[in-house]
Amino acid sequence: MTALAPRRTVDPMAPTLGIDVAGPAETAWEVLVDLRWWPHWGPTVRDARLDDGATRLAAGATGRVQTPARVWLPFEVTTWREDERVRSWAWRVAGVPATTHTVTTLGPERCRVEMSAPWWAVGYLGVLGVALLRIRRLAEE
């Protein structure tokens, strides 16, 4: 399997990229939900803050994300799933549906991280590909 493999999600209109990670799902999940990691893997994220002052995302969380142009945009976590095998969250940024982030447990030291974009943002897949490679590096260190 190639490092970055496209896949269709339950929503056939949502283009998705995924990457296998040689590390525990818990580690990859923490990289995705701890805002302190976001600038390390998100090419379009310079900084991020939650309205409640916490550093870890949760269902319904709201906050602001800073772009590389230093513009702060509001965000809201719109979907949240956390079970034994699959963890996922999606958000709206500046009121617009944005990306979905999913970690699937494949074994004790293996997982798959996937990101989906809305169908109209297919051009954003290149950014997601860079993010996935960075997430894998961080989760495997």
Each residue's pLDDT tens digit, 55-82:
999 999 999 999 999 999 999 999 999 9
pLDDT of residue 13: 72
Helices 125-140 and 25-33, packing angle to 10 deg? 120
Task: Please give the domain boundaries of the chain with CATH numbers for all domains.
Answer: 17-140 (3.30.530.20)
Burial of 98 by CB count in 10 Å (0-12 exposed, 13-18 middle, 19+ buried)? buried
Question: Is residue 16 within 8 Å of residue 115, measured between CB atoms?
Answer: yes
Concatenated DSSP letters of 1-15: --SSEEEE-SSTTSE
Each residue's pLDDT tens digit, 11-62:
667 899 999 999 999 999 999 999 999 999 999 999 999 999 999 999 999 9
Each residue's pLDDT tens digit, 87-112:
999 999 999 999 999 999 999 999 99
CA-CA distance, 46 to 38, in Å (whole number)?
8
**What does pTM read for this prediction?**
0.89
**pLDDT(1) > 70:** no
Concatenated DSSP letters of 32-74: HHBTTTHHHH-TT-SEEEETTS-SB--TT-EEEEE-TTS-EEE
